[in-house]
């Protein structure tokens, strides 16, 4: 290949698809796949759980501060989950809402095409949702029934609030005991 001097200002107008959001998404995807390749998917899931817990605590604190309360009720928690994903670029909506179960749908993945290369990134959503619901309700089991990352046209996320509800392979989350 021939080497030639390039005017660096030529990149100013070039169609290069990298911005801060895409760069951070690439970092997360590569970290995730490197972890899976290095330590395996089970250990990676445990690591992502810890990351999800730390992130959800920060996010929950923001919503508690905005609501001016120490605990969100169920409606406010659902509103916070949908608002969070909207802020991140998702398109989440309520399919079902009862005292025992929340079912959320999503038409657009916040991680975009990056999630298709790394479906385990959906676990971040599971952990953030699960921890936030558990903190407000005491318990939540999140089942990623359908995900865009696994090839579905949309996501369907089932959050059971009753620990005795039938388990379709979800992840259980428990709130911290009140001091």
What is the end-to-end Cα distance of the chain in Å, rounded?
A: 67
**What is the C-alpha to C-alpha distance for residues 175 and 136, in angstroms, rounded to an integer?**
7
What is the rounded CA–CA span in Å between residue 75 and residue 133? Answer: 11
Q: Does domain 17-174 have CATH number 3.30.1380.20?
A: yes
115 to each of 69, 99, 100, 141, 147, how far by Cα in Å?
34, 31, 30, 22, 10
Name the more confident of 53 and 162.
162
For the chain, the domains span 17-174
36's tokens: 């899976």
> Which pLDDT score is estimated for 123?
82
Of the candidates 103, 108, 67, 88, the one whose C-alpha atom is nearest the C-alpha of residue 25 is: 88
Q: Percent of the chain beyond pLDDT 90?
A: 53
74 compared with 41, residue with greater pLDDT: 74
Q: What percent of the chain has pLDDT over 70?
A: 96
* Residues forming a β-bridge with 141: 160, 172
Contacts of 109 (CB under 8 A, 6+ apart): 90, 115, 147, 148, 149, 155
């Amino acid at each position: 290949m021939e080497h030639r001097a390039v005017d660096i200002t030529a990149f100013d107008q070039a169609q290069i698809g990298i911005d801060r959001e895409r760069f951070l998404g690439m970092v997360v995807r590569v970290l995730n796949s490197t972890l899976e390749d290095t330590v395996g998917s089970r250990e990676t899931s445990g690591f992502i759980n810890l990351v999800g817990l730390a992130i959800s605590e920060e996010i929950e604190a923001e919503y508690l501060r905005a609501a001016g309360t120490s605990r969100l009720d169920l409606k406010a928690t659902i509103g916070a989950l949908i608002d969070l994903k909207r802020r991140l670029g998702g398109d989440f909506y309520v399919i079902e809402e009862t005292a025992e179960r929340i079912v959320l749908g999503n038409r657009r993945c916040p991680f975009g095409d990056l999630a298709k290369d790394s479906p385990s990134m959906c676990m971040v959503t599971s952990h953030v949702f699960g921890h936030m619901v558990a903190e407000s309700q005491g318990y939540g089991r999140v089942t990623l029934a359908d995900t865009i990352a696994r090839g579905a046209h949309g996501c369907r996320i089932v959050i059971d609030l009753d620990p005795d509800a039938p388990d379709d392979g979800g992840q259980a989350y428990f709130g911290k005991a009140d001091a």
